[in-house]
Structures are given as C-alpha cells and as structure tokens.
Chain A
C-alpha cells in the first residue's frame, strides 16, 4: 500500500524533529500552528488563552516528540495535547475562582471585536462544559468523526455521540433567536 506523499513527508519531518532538527520542527510548527491556535480559541473562547494553549501545546510536543510512536496521526496527537493543555488551564481558572462572568469580561476586554452572531455563538459555547465544548469543536469545526474525536478526547465513541446530542440541544435552543434575528423574520 502506498502512503500519500504528504503522510510520508510528515513522518520524515517528525522523525527529523525528534532527532533534534530545529528546521523540521519549525516546519511542523508552521504547518500546524494555525490549526491548533484555532482549536485552542474555540476551546477557550479567549484570544490570550488561545495563544497560551497553542504555545504550551508545541512546547509539550517538542518535549515529547521522542515518545510519539505514530499510533495516532501527528495532527491527532497535537489535538490531544492541546485538549489536555486546555483542561489544565481550565482547572487553573476554576482554582482561581474565575467565574463565567469574569471570564466573559476578560474576553470582551481583550479587544476581540466580533459580529453579533459570532458573539452569540461564543456565548452559547461558553455555556457548555469544557469537555462538551471540546467535543463540539472537534466534530463541527475540525470535521472529525465521532471515533476520531473519541481518540483525541480519551473517551468512548458513545460518549462523544451523547455529548454532541446534548450540545446540539442546548446550542440550538440558545441560538434560535440569533438565527431568527439574522433572517429578519
């Protein structure tokens, strides 16, 4: 079976980076940073947190490259690290008793100018528990199937399906006025 050229290229880059090549690691960083940053933003809903999570993800990836055995795709492995970093930061936030209100204040004060629809989506997502938000992000924004999302999240596929079902219910209910308003019904 012939592997796609991009997969071979990625495997070569990962092997070279694991051997200490800064050029290979920089190439992987350039290739995946936008994707991980976008994922981190949808997870944290805060630009500053997203930058930190993305940074922590690549630092952790650099430290752990030697243990990456290619059982998952490199991209999936990065998502896995980013999810754990997002959880770590979320736990820290909770420990600091950062309430949702403070969090929202932080987001709006960060110069994050968004449309009314986008703000509604952001607020609706912010109302979901972190693991449910991570699941929605992987399935709806990153286009993963439930099995792949389950691998990244370290849970059963049925858990992903259940979370998606519950998240859709909640989000649709909350976003209904936004869609209605957008259509000027």
Chain B
C-alpha cells in the first residue's frame, strides 16, 4: 500500500456529529468551572492519579440544621412581601456563609427542615451572585439558596441529584447536572419537579 493510498484510507473514518444537547451541556459545565476560583497549579492536575476519586469524595456533607430553621423561616412567616422574603433569604445565606466560610454550597429548605450542603474542604472565598432555586411537584416544595458556581447535591424522591448552578451574563440561571441541563430560557422538568430559579432579590 502506498502512502497516498494509506492516507486516503485513513480519511474514510468520519466523525459522528456532536449531539447539540451534549455540546450545550459541555459549554455550561465549562462556564461553571470558569466561574470557580482554582489554585494556580491546577493546570497539570488532570494527569494526577487519584484525582477523580478525590473530587468525588468532595461530595458534599449534608448536615441537618434544626436551629437554622428558625433563622430561615422566622422572618418569612409574618410577611408575604416578596422583598422581605428575599431579604431574609439573603441574610440566612450570609449567616451560613459566615459560619462555614468557603464550605457552604447551599442552604436547602425541605418539608420544614433546613439542611446545609457543605463541601469537605473550604475553597478561597469568592463574591459570587447569590441565587435561589425552587423545586415543586404535587404540593412538595424544596427551596435552595446558593451562590453562582457552586455544586449542589439534593435528594429528590429518594434519588440523588447533583448539579452545578450558575448565573449567566444576562441574569438567567443554568443548572448543569450529569444528565440534564436546565436553564431559565428552557425550563424543562427536572426529576419530575417544576423548577424556578433567579438571582436572589429578583422575583421567581
């Protein structure tokens, strides 16, 4: 076989088209990563053995906080004003962030209990946009307070849902999970739940 024949034969291997949904998910996940601060030596870490395991083990520690319920709900009970609720949510989030600096992924309110989604290790504190994500299904409601760029793990009907959340330049929200992408412009159901999300302080 001559070299031109060889090259011609190799060129018959065509590239399958990229699934647009996978491509979009890839972009969103990369943008989420871009929004998160990284140590300077991260560049060469992809080749390190054990890294995927360690990252997986960073999976979040959820701590039930009964006391937090008081802080979380108290201000909201007496007032139906959206601004008051948003203010209280912002205060709650800020207080929890002070208690667990760099570790807080989310404050989650579900059926009257408040959980904190905490990372094992603290990351350098960053000022990113606080936001709220609300999951609703059949009278069931779960509210999540977090910051743009965080990775959050929830239990929805017994299933574990992990996703990254990000505020886009246009003020929209994107949730990017392993097998789904939700955005405020394409609000599909997630695990059977209707999702609403907005930067904290904006109406849902």
Q: Identify the A interface with B (CB < 8 A).
A: 17, 20, 22-23, 25-26, 29, 33-34, 37-38, 41-42, 47, 50-51, 54-56, 58-68, 81, 84-85, 87-88, 92, 112, 114-115, 117-118, 121-122, 125, 136, 140-141, 168, 171-172, 175-176, 178-179, 182
Binding site for A on B (CB under 8 A): 1, 5-7, 9-10, 12-16, 18-19, 22-23, 25-27, 29-31, 33-36, 38, 40-43, 46-47, 52, 168-169
Query: How far apart are B89's CB and chain A's nearest CB, in angstroms?
Result: 25
Flag if B31 contacts A22 (CB, 8 Å): yes
A63 contacts B6, CB within 8 Å?
A: no
Looking at B9, B18, B33, B169, the one whose CB has the most chain A CB atoms below 10 A away is B9
User: Main secondary structure on chain A at its contact with chain B?
Assistant: helix
A62 to B16 alpha-carbon distance, docked (Å):
25
State whether A51 touches B19 (Cβ < 8 A).
yes
Answer whether A121 and B9 are a contact pair too, CB < 8 Å, given A29-B27, A58-B26: yes
CA distance A38 to B17 in the complex (A): 9
Shortest Cβ gap from A44 to chain B (Å): 11
**When A and B form their complex, which 8 residue pairs have the shortest distance between CB atoms, in order from nearest?**
A55-B26, A67-B43, A64-B43, A62-B34, A58-B30, A62-B33, A117-B12, A121-B13
Given contacts A58-B29, A59-B29, could you give 7 more A-B pairs where the C-beta distance is less than 8 Å?
A25-B30, A51-B18, A60-B46, A112-B16, A121-B9, A140-B10, A172-B1
Q: Does B35 lie within 8 Å of A20, measured CB to CB?
A: yes
B27→A26 contact, CB < 8 A: yes
Given contacts A55-B30, A65-B34, A175-B1, contact A141 B10 (CB under 8 A): yes
Asked if B30 contacts A61 (CB within 8 A), the reply is yes
B26-A51 in contact (CB<8A): yes
Q: Is the interface of B mostly helix, strand, loop or mixed?
A: helix
Instruction: Give complex CA distance A33, B31 in Å.
Output: 14
A152 to B22, CA, bound (A): 26
When A55-B26, A61-B30, A66-B40 are in contact, do A175 and B9 touch as well, CB less than 8 Å? yes
Cα–Cα, bound, A58→B33 (Å) = 9
Chain B residues near A87 (CB, 8 Å)?
Answer: 47
In angstroms, Cα B14 to Cα A37, docked, is 12
List 30 interface pairs A-B (beta carbons < 8 Å), by A numbering. Answer: A20-B35, A22-B31, A22-B34, A23-B169, A25-B30, A29-B30, A33-B23, A33-B26, A51-B22, A54-B18, A55-B29, A59-B26, A59-B29, A59-B30, A59-B33, A60-B33, A62-B31, A63-B34, A63-B42, A65-B34, A92-B52, A114-B13, A114-B14, A115-B12, A121-B13, A136-B10, A171-B6, A172-B6, A175-B6, A179-B5
